[in-house]
Chain A
Amino acid sequence: MCDTCGCNITSGNQHLLKPGGKLSIANNGVSSISVLKNLMSENDQVASHNRDHFDKNNVLAINLMSSPGSGKTALLEKTIQQLKERYRIAVIEGDLETENDADRIRKQGVPAIQITTGSACHLDAHMVHDAVHDLSLKDLDIVFIENVGNLVCPASFDLGQHLNVTLLSVTEGDDKPSKYPVMFRAADIMLLTKTDLLAVLDDFDTKKAEQNLRQLASDAPVIELSSRRGDGLSTWISWLHKQIEEQLTRIKNGKSLKPNIQKEGVQLHSEPSLPHNSLKQNHT
């Protein structure tokens, strides 16, 4: 996308460029410069760098997002138990405080890096970059990134992952995709967790949760599972196997995959970001 051929002009912004539009007028001594640059470019640059690291080392990176307490760590424990004989796994854990989750993962016999964000409500590409350097990527097949429990901010930050997994536990309500469209639109797969509790809940309709996801124009698969009882885990594990195979095929063909987040949209409208250095250069 560039300013040369006009391919950055979309139906959303073309009115600005027409006579009388904001980008066409100039007042006394004041110049108007058209930019159309993505405001996440600094994060996205580092995210691409992280993705290159993963791809070069044949690693599949998966970002798990959900509310706090919807069962991300429990799901990872069960997943590691089922996959660790076949794949070399590591986990990057994001939390505001404590090493609790990383400790739980380490008990499963795989490396875990805990990022404590202080009061930051999401992981960003820089934090993941630092964590990635504490891992020996060449000795790994899968890196799970467990994001900070939050249905808002994590959705806006590309970390360099290949896929987004969004968990929705049945105690949270089947209307969560409608309430948090930015988050659920970013999901490559939605997992309905804690389904063993459905027996005592009369207000969570799994069909409705899926319909609410479809309303976001999402084709992402939906799996119902209970990490505690094991229901649905085999479907999730098969999905993971498929993703690992697809990742290896992509790498063989020199390709990479960006998660559902910003696959279209922003990337369509803005020009590629400035090189990292030139952004920093004149920062006062």
Chain B
Amino acid sequence: MHELSVCQEIIIQVNEIAFQNQATTIESITLQVGPLSGVEAPLLKQAFPFAAAQTVAENAKLVIEELPVVVKCKLCGSQSTVVPNKLICGQCGDYHTQLVSGDEMLLASVELTRENKLAEVNNV
């Protein structure tokens, strides 16, 4: 139900990035979403155009990277990819695990066109 408010937050953050980089257009927005984040990728896609209307991201493509649920066992140390409602170790079956990936709800990257139209890469 709160996918629209997540999209509004995306627009706020993307606006900020566009301003900092003197961008005229946002070409694409990449999110990382895990199944334990509480938001659903298809609903985000549906809500996005409503939040993006009449903003710098109006024609931006929304790319959603759906991340797997991965846990690391605190006992045997092994890492396993699991389903969202069974966060137990795939090796030893213990439930004392730490979530490594799967609850992300992140704005990962933004592709934008700058005012001076110069190609530029921001390497991390």
Q: Give A12 Cβ to nearest chain B Cβ, in Å.
A: 3
B122 to chain A, nearest CB (A): 5
A3, A36, A39, A214: the one within 8 Å of B9 (CB): A39
A266 CA / B102 CA spacing, docked (Å): 9
Are A274 and B16 also in contact (CB < 8 A) when A34-B109, A39-B6 are? yes
Q: A37 interface residue, CB < 8 Å from B?
A: yes
Indicate if A116 sits at the interface (CB-CB under 8 A).
Answer: no
Interchain CB contact under 8 A, B85 and A216: yes
Chain B residues within an 8 Å CB radius of A281: 16
| Cβ-based interface call for B41 (8 A) | no
Count of chain A residues with a beta carbon within 8 Å of a chain B beta carbon: 65
Which A residues are CB-close (under 8 A) to B11? 283
Q: A164 to chain B: closest CB distance in Å?
A: 14
CB-nearest residue of chain A to B33: A39
Report B4 CB to chain A, min CB distance, Å: 11
On whether the beta carbons of B122 and A31 are closer than 8 Å, the reply is yes
Closest to B6 in A: A39
Most buried by B among A36, A39, A181, A269: A39
Chain B: minimal CB distance from A270 (Å)? 5
Separation of A169 and B124 alpha carbons in the complex (Å): 49
Which of A41, A156, A274 is in CB contact (< 8 Å) with B39?
A156
| Contact status of A185 and B36, CB under 8 A, knowing A214-B95, A219-B96 | yes
Contact in complex: B121, A13 (CB < 8 Å):
no
The chain B residue sitting closest to A180, CB to CB, is: B85
Residue B45 lies at the interface, judged by CB distance under 8 Å to chain A: no
Within 8 A of A (CB), among B67-124: 67-68, 70-71, 79, 84-88, 95-114, 117-124
Docked CA distance A12–B106 (Å): 11
A40, CB-defined interface residue at 8 Å: yes
Write the nearest CB–CB distance from A199 to chain B, whole angstroms.
Answer: 29
Q: Which residues from B are CB-within-8-Å of A40?
A: 6, 9, 105
Q: Point out the residues of chain B lying under 8 angstroms from A269, CB to CB.
A: 32, 101, 104, 106
Task: Indicate if A248 sits at the interface (CB-CB under 8 A).
Answer: no
A12 engages B104 (CB within 8 Å):
yes
> Which residues does A use to contact B, with CB under 8 Å?
3, 6, 9-13, 16-17, 22-42, 120-122, 152-153, 155-157, 177-179, 181-182, 185, 212, 214-219, 262, 264-266, 269-270, 274, 278-284
9 cross-chain pairs, A with B, having the tightest CB-CB distances, nearest first: A12-B101, A156-B38, A265-B103, A217-B87, A181-B85, A282-B19, A26-B121, A178-B85, A217-B97
What are 9 A-B residue pairs whose CB atoms fall within 8 Å in the complex?
A: A9-B124, A16-B108, A23-B108, A29-B117, A37-B13, A39-B13, A42-B9, A157-B2, A270-B104
